Amino acid sequence: MESAVKDWIKADETAKEMLTRLFTERPFLPLPPPLHKLPLRPGNVVEVAGPPSSGKTHILMQAAISCILPKQWKGVQFGGMERLAVFVDLDCRFDVLRFSRLLKHKLIQANSNDMKSQTQYDKELFAECMRRFLYIRCYNSLEFLATLKTMNKQLQKQKDIQGVGVHLLVLDSIGAFYWMDRALPSLLVGGSNRKSLSLQIVMENVVQDLQKLLLVHPLLVLATKNSISGDKSTADELMRNTSSGPRPKHREYMPSVWQSFVTHRIHVAASEHNGNHQRQHTYLTEWILPSVNFSDRFVINEDGVFLIS
Amino acid sequence: MAPLKSLESEYPIIDSDFRQFCASHAIFSVEDFLVHDIYVLMALAEEHDTSDRLKQAITQVLSIIDAQHQPWLDGLELLGYSQKSKSILSTGCERIDAFLRGGFQGGVLTELVGPSSSGKTQVCLLAASNVTKSGLGRVLFLDTGNSFSPTRVAQFVSSSSELADTESSKILPQVLDNIECRSVFDIFTLLDVLHQLLQNLRYQVGQNLRMLIIDSVSSLITPVLGGAGTHGHALMASAGFLLKKLAYEHNLSVLMTNHMVAGDGGVIKPALGESWKSIPHIRLLLSRDVLNNICSMFILRHPSMAIGERVEFAIL
């Protein structure tokens, strides 16, 4: 009895041990720009918000690539995480050919630092990286929920096969079924305590299932969200006080359960600042949560996302 | 999704005892399971005397749920699938083909936007006649405003340089036979047609369909949008996801046209608003110079091409 109590009050580990454990299990993740400025770790939920065609999916693809790239391979440094990345395609628009081109470019780029050939990449390494990329698409919220409910099993299976765990879970995009869910029929057959499907219930369960996953797997959740701009009321306001007052960039429409689940939020938008906007479209980022006072400007070209100063 | 009662014949573990346990937590169907915390249910099942059987049944339901999402693929499988089955259909115009790297992609929703008489329907008809003329497969043309013109198709077939006159008149019946034109005047009919098509393709009826054209999609959706209700948007999103599913799973090139409306400050913009923007994979803006009949095509959205790239072409 006494020893049990002693065992119970004995410290499990020192603070130093705990920190070392945390930093190996849930280290800060080296994410590519424009997500590089804030230290992000597994457990964080990052929302990339912005209007359509503002480069959101590209940012996610780059993040997934840095997750599946190895740290080093045959003496060449790649600086990746060498972990599995899960891509849940809710918009059903993922272009795998584009993704593989971006990955190949990264492989060639790392090689060319070595003054080797400029267009060759290691096919074996390419295959290994692509195997670490797990993809699923969902056409509606029920499929999304079914995916989340069974994802733990799938991730465990993949972890056993591939020998490495998952570090990144990408959701593109979280508001994809918003309108369909809002119009779900709320019929209650069989008792008033039966949960009827609604946007609220769906999002509550999505968040709940994600939280369960986060407990078991050291995951960084990266989700895009289409921001709705240019609705009638803001347009009218703009007409009234032109040039005075900043334009509201972020109008929240997701249920509060999702909003409070998000730990970091970055806003991206196409920038109209640039004078010569015939060829090069530039994009501007802004951290909203935490609201820090720097913004990055980037371009997207054949080879990926690049910061410009 | 299935009510639990109907599953017993296939899975005897889902017996009346288990259903009673579920009913006490207001679960009657597999769908209800999706909005419940499985871990909590497992813990509740623990308290019963038949906890082992109950937990087995819950595991059984989980594996039923596991079969209700799309399959997991790794990057290599996905790439292999897309390289093997995704084809590109020539548009029938060399300059557009060169610009779009071959033509209209299979599995992808391509939207043509532009003001009236900017050449949207012409591009659709040209692509339809080209696909059927080359014997690549069948085309389904959903016509919302009586814009389909067999005479124009005949012109396209006979004007193609590689065929002699006699030859082109010979293949014309076959070309027209392979273009199915259906009139669709509202979004409900559209959803019906698309659901039916999905069923048919799943059961291998109407094989070799390669292209689906909707001219114009905006005239079906605009009437249900507006007002304070959300149902219009829900119908629009459902049609969008249905089209994506059809395109991806049956390797169809989907071609839709959309008109332009006046936006903020009189600048014209594509109709259907912000939420529709995330539906098509590729968005092309057409415009036409009335004087010399030269059309231009701009990229408004493309997964791998830069916004603003353009090409000029003429359809004779």
B5, B23 Cβ separation under 8 angstroms: no
Q: What is the pLDDT of residue A239?
A: 44
DSSP collapsed to 3 states, chain A: CHHHHHHHHCCCCCHHHHHHHHHHHCCCCCCCCCCCCCCCCCCCEEEEEECCCCCHHHHHHHHHHHHHCCCEECCEECCCCCCEEEEEECCCCCCHHHHHHHHHHHHHHHHHCCCCCCCCCCHHHHHHHHHCEEEEECCCHHHHHHHHHCHHHHHHHHHHHHCCCEEEEEEECCCCCHHHHHCCCCCCCCCCCCCCCCHHHHHHHHHHHHHHHHHHCCCEEEEEEECCCCCHHHHHHHHHCCCCCCCCCCCCCCCHHHHHHCCEEEEEEEECCCCCCCCCCEEEEEEEECCCCCCCEEEEECCEEEEEC
Mutate to test the interface with B, among A137, A154, A188, A232 (most CBs of B within 10 A): A137
Is B53's Cβ below 8 Å from some Cβ in A?
no
Which residues on B lie below 8 Å from A153 (Cβ)? Answer: 62, 66
Which residues on B lie below 8 Å from A93 (Cβ)? Answer: 244, 278, 281, 303
Which residues on B lie below 8 Å from A138 (Cβ)? Answer: 69-70
Mutate to test the interface with B, among A102, A159, A195, A214 (most CBs of B within 10 A): A195
- Structure letter (DSSP) for residue B72: P
Closest-CA distance, A208 to chain B, in angstroms, reads 8
Please tell me the distance from the alpha carbon of residue A118 to that of residue A101, in angstroms, as a whole number. 15
Q: How confident is the model at residue A242 (pLDDT cuts 50, 70, 90)?
A: very low
Looking at per-residue pLDDT, the higher value among B207 and A181 belongs to A181
For chain B of 316 residues, list the mean pLDDT of each consecutive stretch of 10.
83 89 88 89 88 91 92 94 84 93 92 93 94 91 93 87 72 90 95 94 81 94 82 92 94 94 84 89 93 91 87 88
Residues in B 230-249 with any Cβ partner in A closer than 8 A: 230-231, 233-234, 236-238, 241, 244-245, 248
B113, B214 Cβ separation under 8 angstroms: no
Residue of A nearest to B280 (CA): A93
Looking at per-residue pLDDT, the higher value among B233 and A238 belongs to B233
List the single residue in A92, A153, A193 with the smallest CB-CB distance to B244: A92
Residue of A nearest to B235 (CA): A180
Stated pTM of the model: 0.90
Q: Residue A271, Cβ neighbours under 10 Å: how many?
A: 17
Q: What is the mean pLDDT of chain A?
A: 83
Q: What is the ipTM of this complex?
A: 0.92
Residue of A nearest to B31 (CA): A142
Mutate to test the interface with A, among B58, B187, B238, B278 (most CBs of A within 10 A): B278
Task: Name which of A43-57, A83-97, A187-201, A234-248 the model is least confident about.
Answer: A234-248
A159-169: burial string, b at 16+ Cβ within 10 Å, e else = eeebeebbbbb
Report CB contact under 8 Å: A132, B74.
yes
Burial-class residue B62 by CB neighbours within 10 Å (0-12, 13-18, 19+).
Answer: middle
Extract the tokens encoding A291. Answer: 């609201």
The answer on pLDDT for A240 being more than 50 is no
Please tell me the distance from the alpha carbon of residue B73 to that of residue A134, in angstroms, as a whole number. 6
List the single residue in B37, B65, B237 with the smallest CB-CB distance to A150: B65
Q: What's the average model confidence in pLDDT over A224-232?
A: 70
pLDDT tens by residue, A96-138: 999 999 999 989 888 776 555 567 788 999 999 999 999 999 9
Q: Report phi then psi at B307, rounded to 5.
A: -65, 135
pLDDT tens by residue, A190-218: 555 677 778 899 999 999 999 999 999 99
Q: Is 3.40.50.300 the CATH classification of the domain at A27-308?
A: yes
Q: What is the pLDDT of residue A114?
A: 55
The answer on pLDDT for A228 being more than 90 is no
* Every domain of chain A and the residues it spans: 27-308
Q: What is the pLDDT of residue A235?
A: 40
Cross-strand partners of A172: A89
> Cβ neighbours of residue B10 under 8 Å, at least 6 residues apart?
none
A–B interface: beta-carbon pairs under 8 A = 171
